[in-house]
Amino acid sequence: MNTFFNGIEKIAYEGADSSNPLAFHHYDPDQLVLGKPMRDQLRFAVAFWHSLAWPGTDPFGGPTFERPWFDLEGDRTRPDSPMQAARLKARTAFELFDILGTPYFCFHDADVRPEGDSLAESISNLNAIADLFEQEMARTGVKLLWGTANLFSHRRFMAGAATNPDPDVFAYAAATIKANMDVTHRLGGENYVLWGGREGYETLLNTSLSREMDQMGRMLALVVDYKHRIGFPGTILLEPKPQEPTKHQYDFDVATVYGFLRKYGLENEVRVNIEVGHAILAGHSFEHEVALAIAHGIFGSIDMNRNDYQSGWDTDQFPNNVPEVALAYYHILKAGGFDTGGTNFDAKLRRQSLDPLDLVHAHIGAMDVCARALKAAAALIEDATLDDMLEARYRGWDDATARKMLAGGMSLEEISSHVLEKGLDPQPVSGRQEYLENLINRFV
Ligand code: XLS
Ligand code: NI
Ligand code: NI
């Protein structure tokens, strides 16, 4: 059965002392972390688009990867060859999941099925691949973390999907989303993601911001309404990103998305899928985005990767920065861990990493980085110093007057009299940043 990966065996946990590159050194799926197996804390997913559908192109060069399904995709001499390619790709994907032991996967329609000559044909191709997914999922026990529609690659979407000036494109996008929600629901997907690929603009000279925002609000309301009508139990997630491909994207960051959800009354229906590289592009740290989403009650899931810190592009590299990842998991664990969300590797190989083996090394490394980070985060929580110091910093707010002031029980005049009567003269207190940084360093 094992063909594309040419006999690579299932990756096992061998511990930090093993020097076997085809083993996990930190990810032990059964090890309990804060009372739950790591497998269930981390909820790893492989991303179809980068790991199976991307051919190694960049803005200056064509494909570098040779994959047997790419040849078939391009073979127009036999009418069924694009579907054969899609089936081969799907089977190979499950080989990869099996080797890695990743419990979930994620996909866009365009990653898994050939585009048809009409929307009807595209949908029927998608459904045929979903049949195969159903069989493979039943055989392997691998589950769907989320599905999504690619509403950004085809030229029809060049001026946006929901935010397109042409209502027919809006309608086409809505129909495409419906088909993808149907498939995600059928496959037991735990979330449905909307990333606004081209929901943004290049120039204000041809763009009405107010119209485009209202269109996007309407599309999201339609999605939420449909979710309830079909009884989809999963979570609807928006994925923020500040730019790329458009110059200005409407879902800039978590703060912007939260404001958007409030404006359209959807803050209790929709959460966010936060990607490391997108946080960096927005000028934030990843843990900032995670912590802010938690503070707003809209945290959903994460797209794990890393950006090159110099190039300023969304380079989607596999993660390798344990401290960065640990601080994010710290906030996630403190908030009770993932609910329907998980850790999706929205990460791609470098285009010189040609071999099937490179895909395996990339995921082993990424899973180990996350496992190490998770253990560090759990240790920080168990140690509790960080949390105690944070609590202590705000302890003054336990005082009765302080509580009254915060709850709206005092006017500005009353607060003023209180200060003057008591002769308050607050003294600055150290923030202890270096001490806290040293504390983190003990655990990561
Ligand atoms: C692109 C996004 C995309 C989403 C899914 O930058 O990360 O891959 O995760 O459409
Ligand atoms: Ni992503
Ligand atoms: Ni990205």
Domain boundary among 348, 383, 418: 383
Ligand 1 centre distance from Cα of residue 79 (Å)? 30
Domain boundary among 350, 383, 416: 383
What CATH number does residue 240 fall under?
A: 3.20.20.150
Q: Are residues 431 and 333 in the same domain?
A: no
The pLDDT assigned to 16 comes to 97
**Which atom of ligand 1 has the smallest separation from the CA of 150?**
10
Average pLDDT over residues 106-134: 98
Q: How far apart are CA 193 and CA 358, in angstroms?
A: 28
Q: Are residues 299 and 243 in the same domain?
A: yes
Residue 7 lies in a domain: no
Residue 363 lies in a domain: yes
Q: Are residues 363 and 406 in the same domain?
A: no
Residue 3 lies in a domain: no
Angle at 318 between CA 96 and CA 68, to 5 degrees: 40
Q: Are residues 353 and 403 in the same domain?
A: no
Strand, coil or helix: 289: helix
**Which atom of ligand 1 has the smallest separation from the CA of 314?**
6
Ligand 1 centre distance from Cα of residue 315 (Å)? 12
Domain boundary among 336, 353, 383: 383
pLDDT of 1 > 50? The answer is no
Closest CA to 45 of 319, 342, 325: 342
Q: Are residues 360 and 229 in the same domain?
A: yes
For the Cβ of 109 lying below 6 angstroms from any atom of ligand 1, the answer is no
What DSSP letter does each residue of 278-312 carry, written as one string?
A: HHHHTT--HHHHHHHHHHHT-EEEEEE-B--TTT-
Closest CA to 429 of 396, 398, 402: 396
Task: Give 297-341 pLDDT, tens digit per residue.
Answer: 999 999 999 999 888 889 999 999 999 999 999 999 999 999 999
Task: Give 76-92 pLDDT, tens digit per residue.
Answer: 788 899 999 999 999 99
Ligand 3 centre distance from Cα of residue 316 (Å)? 5
Q: Is pTM, for the whole model, over 0.75? A: yes
For the Cβ of 241 lying below 6 angstroms from any atom of ligand 1, the answer is yes
Q: Are residues 379 and 403 in the same domain?
A: no
Residue 136 lies in a domain: yes
Nearest-CA residue for atom 5 of ligand 1 = 195
Q: Are residues 374 and 403 in the same domain?
A: no
For the Cβ of 192 lying below 6 angstroms from any atom of ligand 1, the answer is no
- The set of residues, in sequence order, having a beta carbon less than 8 Å from that of 40 and lying 6+ positions away, is none
Provide the residue range defining the domain that includes 409: 397-443
Q: Are residues 149 and 22 in the same domain?
A: yes
Point out the residues that are catalytic: 108, 111
CB 381 within 8 A of CB 330: yes
Ligand 1 centre distance from Cα of residue 219 (Å)? 18
Closest CA to 146 of 290, 225, 52, 46: 46
Residue 208 lies in a domain: yes
Looking at the 3D structure of the chain, how many domains does it have?
Answer: 2
Q: Are residues 224 and 305 in the same domain?
A: yes
For the Cβ of 316 lying below 6 angstroms from any atom of ligand 1, the answer is no
The pLDDT assigned to 346 comes to 98
Task: Give 389-419 pLDDT, tens digit per residue.
Answer: 999 999 999 999 999 999 999 999 999 999 9
Q: What is the mean pLDDT of the chain?
A: 97
CB 353 within 8 A of CB 362: yes
Residue 319 lies in a domain: yes
Task: Give 256-269 pLDDT, tens digit per residue.
Answer: 999 999 999 999 99
Nearest-CA residue for atom 3 of ligand 1 = 195
- The set of residues, in sequence order, having a beta carbon less than 8 Å from that of 162 and lying 6+ positions away, is 151, 170, 173, 174, 196, 199, 215, 216, 218, 219, 220
Closest CA to 154 of 195, 110, 124, 112: 110
Residue 419 lies in a domain: yes
Running DSSP on this structure, what letter comes out for residue 52? I
Q: Tokens 């997108």 — which residue?
A: 278
Q: Are residues 25 and 173 in the same domain?
A: yes
Q: Are residues 131 and 195 in the same domain?
A: yes
Q: Using most ligand atoms within 8 A of CB, pick from 150, 192, 195, 306 the residue to mutate for ligand 1.
A: 195
**Both tokens assigned to 89:** 């790709």
| Angle (deg, nearest 10), helices 286-296 and 254-263 | 30
Task: Give 140-197 pLDDT, tens digit per residue.
Answer: 999 999 999 999 999 999 999 999 999 999 999 999 999 999 999 999 999 999 999 9
Residues in a beta bridge with 85: none
CB 161 within 8 A of CB 151: yes
Average pLDDT over residues 58-78: 93
Residue 2 lies in a domain: no
Task: Give 18-57 pLDDT, tens digit per residue.
Answer: 999 999 999 999 999 999 999 999 999 999 999 999 999 9
Q: Are residues 158 and 255 in the same domain?
A: yes
The pLDDT assigned to 77 comes to 87
Query: What percent of the chain has pLDDT above 70?
Result: 100
